[in-house]
């Protein structure tokens, strides 16, 4: 089956903050280039940047500084961050927020004196989170999408990337194979430079926050292309995901951190407040600590539905209704009274700190392939600060756009490895050639349970090894699971099968990295190794042998015990 072939200079996979910033910057740097954004959903309407509630961290105030933002990021990341990436994040966040307001048309909330309002977020020593109410992501994405639409930037919507295809000699990227989801046709897009910006997304856990279009496809493609991944054991759980029942996708969605910040209580199934027993900061402790305490309480005294309660009523229903209007409405839609009653919650998988290893100019080990946003690893170390996620995707998206525009100037289109394209098509076609066996629903439920119970908030060697065996079995089960309907146009069962293949592949890497890290640090907690160990980060280098090695962190700007002083270049 020969795919349709298209040509472009720059191909961008994903249309979140990273993808759209890359498109705008590449176009600005070299307006004559042909740039194409290819996205699994609709441009501007999918991915997690649109879901950003809280806001964007940036050191704008005179009393704040990039050094302070940098130190908060390094300490928050439990000293595992790549310091050059973190430095670039905090410095360029200032440029990006100004570009968003002054060039791209965003309006962020302002103080009475006209300056941008910045609010407090956990883990930061200064109030530096820029926001638009609690719908910051919609403001950013709407403006970015409008700007992309207004320029001559190509769009391939509802195009699912399925394989990064190297050149015939294997020395560089040659393009990407897609499925046009609307027709089911295969499309090969040849490109001189490709950006991986599909946004990671830990949707393999029973409870999760990211958008449904995110199924770690980018990371799975990177694995197949042999790219090294780092810090894959570091999965962040947000403490307050809504528990609204099994019938609704609202389960797992985030109730914002500000509720705990304002003084909300967490209660167990017997309606006892438990957080003061776990940490002096109680509900205001960091996400990892609160999630772990909740996980332990869930095992002992859950609600009848298997969750815990969030209680705000002691703060006064009127105040809660006024300060958290959006959250009150979201809870009411699911039958809960946030202002005056109890809301059922569970910790929920929110963000992957790990991803493809990349350099500060967004290049990767494969020439011509660039990475940015949640697909990349190293910026946040062992833990991401709330507000640094959208900063990461916009900052590095822009860097990648500039870098790709410069790179393609000296490049000619490359002849792709045709055998690799054929093999990728055969792999995508394989579920149509099977005889009926298991249902995909059963595979998904099993995956959710394995990841939640054994590779989730609290881990140990025995559980992780069992998870590895179960994940291998799930992979084989998928390989023998058919897609009953052979119609290709909008065949969602087929895409579900492909989603699960990506999720299982990446879950195996998370489990392998979690086994390799024999200590507890940041988001990774091993009950059999509860103390923090040496300052090393994990590097996953071979999918064939599932090889993970631990590498010492390079303290290129600041070492533990030191602090970065202002005005360091």
495 catalytic residue (yes or no): no
Three-state secondary structure call for residue 79? coil
For ligand FAD, the closer CB: 268 or 348: 348
Q: Least distance (Å) from ligand FAD to the CB of residue 122? A: 11
Question: CB of residue 501 vs ligand FAD: minimum separation in angstroms?
Answer: 11
Residues contributing to the site for ligand FAD (CB under 6 A) = 13-19, 38-41, 46-49, 51-55, 160-161, 197-199, 209-210, 213-214, 217, 254, 351, 373-374, 386-391, 393
Tokens of 227: 């790219």
Whether the CB-CB separation of 311 and 342 falls below 8 Å is answered with: yes
| Rounded CA separation 405/412 (Å) | 13
Kindly state the greatest CA–CA separation across the chain: 68
Rounded distance, CA 297 to CA 196, Å?
A: 39
CB-nearer residue toward ligand FAD: 75 or 267: 75
The CA distance from 69 to 291, in Å, is 24
The residue among 123 and 373 lying less far from ligand FAD, judged by its C-beta, is 373
The answer to whether the CB of 159 falls within 8 A of the CB of 40 is yes
Q: Show the DSSP H helices in 33-103 as ranges.
A: 66-76, 83-102
DSSP state of 108: -
Q: How far is the CB of 467 from ligand FAD (least distance, A)?
A: 24
Least Å distance, CB 24 to ligand FAD, is: 13
Q: How far is the CB of 498 from ligand FAD (least distance, A)?
A: 8
Least distance (Å) between residue 12 CB and ligand FAD: 9
Q: How far apart are CA 338 and CA 326, in angstroms?
A: 11
* Residue 302: other Cβ atoms inside 10 A: 17
Q: Report in angstroms how near the CB of residue 136 gets to ligand FAD at its nearest.
A: 6
Reading across the β-sheet that carries 235-242, which strands appear in turn? 235-242, 342-352, 308-311, 265-267
Residue with tokens 């995110």: 214
**Cβ 152 to ligand FAD, closest distance in Å?**
20
CB atoms inside a 10 Å sphere around CB 182: 12
Active site residue 131: no
- Are 405 and 362 in contact by the 8 Å Cβ rule? The answer is no
Check 143, 238, 517, 526 and give the catalytic one: 238
Q: Between 52 and 483, name the residue whose CB sits nearer to ligand FAD.
A: 52
Closest residue to ligand FAD, judged by C-beta, is 16
Q: Report d(CA 357, CA 369) in Å as an integer.
A: 11
Structure-block tokens of residue 297: 């309480």
- Cβ(104)–Cβ(144) below 8 Å: yes
If the CB atoms of residues 278 and 452 are measured against ligand FAD, the closer one turns out to be: 452
The answer to whether 373 touches 394, Cβ cutoff 8 Å, is no
**Among 260, 292, 526, 537, which one carries the catalytic annotation?**
260
Instruction: Report the alpha-carbon angle 269-323-135, nearest 5.
Output: 100
Q: Cβ-count burial of 131 within 10 angstroms (0-12 exposed, 13-18 middle, 19+ buried)?
A: buried
Active site residues: 238, 260
């Amino acid at each position: 089956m020969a795919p349709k072939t298209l040509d472009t200079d720059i191909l961008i996979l994903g249309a979140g903050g990273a993808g759209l910033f890359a498109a705008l910057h590449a176009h600005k740097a070299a307006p004559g280039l042909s740039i194409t954004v290819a996205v699994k959903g609709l441009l501007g309407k999918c991915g997690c940047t649109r879901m950003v509630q809280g806001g964007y961290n940036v050191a704008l105030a005179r009393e704040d500084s990039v050094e302070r933002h940098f130190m908060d990021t390094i300490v928050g990341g439990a000293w595992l961050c790549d310091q050059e990436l973190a430095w670039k994040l905090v410095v360029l966040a200032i440029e990006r927020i100004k570009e968003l307001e002054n060039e791209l048309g965003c309006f962020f909330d302002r103080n009475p004196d006209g300056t941008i309002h910045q609010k407090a977020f956990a883990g930061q020593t200064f109030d530096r989170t820029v926001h638009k109410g609690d719908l910051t992501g919609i403001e950013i994405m709407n403006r970015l999408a409008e700007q992309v639409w207004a320029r001559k930037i190509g769009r391939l919507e509802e195009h699912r990337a399925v394989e990064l295809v190297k050149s015939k000699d294997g020395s560089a990227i040659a393009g990407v194979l897609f499925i046009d989801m609307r027709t089911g046709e295969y499309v090969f897009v040849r490109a001189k430079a490709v950006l991986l910006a599909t946004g990671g997304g830990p949707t393999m856990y029973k409870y999760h926050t990211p958008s449904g279009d995110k199924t770690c496809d980018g990371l799975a493609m990177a694995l197949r292309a042999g790219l090294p991944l780092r810090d894959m054991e570091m999965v962040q759980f947000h403490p307050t995901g809504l528990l609204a029942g099994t019938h609704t996708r609202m389960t797992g969605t985030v109730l914002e951190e500000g509720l705990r910040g304002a003084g909300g209580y967490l209660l167990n199934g017997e309606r006892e407040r438990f957080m003061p027993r776990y940490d002096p900061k109680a509900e205001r402790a960091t996400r990892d600590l609160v999630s772990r305490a909740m996980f332990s309480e869930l095992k002992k005294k859950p609600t009848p539905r298997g969750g815990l309660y969030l209680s705000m009523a002691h703060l006064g229903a009127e105040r809660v209704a006024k300060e958290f209007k959006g959250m009150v409405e979201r809870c009411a839609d699911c039958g809960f009274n946030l202002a005056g009653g109890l809301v059922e919650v569970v910790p929920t998988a929110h963000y992957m700190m790990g991803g493809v290893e990349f350099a500060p100019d967004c290049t990767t080990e494969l020439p011509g392939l660039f990475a940015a946003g949640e697909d990349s690893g190293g910026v946040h170390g062992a833990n991401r600060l709330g507000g640094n996620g959208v900063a990461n995707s916009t900052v590095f998206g822009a860097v990648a756009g500039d870098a790709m525009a410069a790179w393609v100037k000296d490049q000619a289109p490359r002849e792709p490895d045709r055998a690799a394209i054929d093999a990728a098509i055969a792999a995508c076609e394989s579920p149509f050639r099977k005889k009926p066996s298991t249902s995909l629903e059963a595979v998904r439920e099993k995956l959710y349970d394995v990841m939640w119970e054994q590779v989730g908030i609290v881990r140990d060697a025995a559980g992780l090894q069992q998870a590895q065996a179960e994940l291998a079995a799930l992979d084989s089960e998928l390989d023998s699971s058919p897609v009953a309907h052979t119609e290709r146009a909008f065949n969602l069962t087929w895409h579900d099968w492909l989603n699960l293949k990506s999720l299982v592949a990446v879950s195996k890497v998370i489990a392998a990295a979690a086994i390799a890290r024999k200590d507890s640090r940041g988001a990774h907690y091993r009950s059999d190794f509860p103390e923090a160990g040496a300052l090393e980060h994990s590097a996953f280098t071979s999918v064939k042998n599932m090889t993970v090695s631990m590498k010492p962190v390079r303290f290129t700007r600041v070492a533990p015990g030191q602090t970065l002083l202002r005005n360091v270049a």
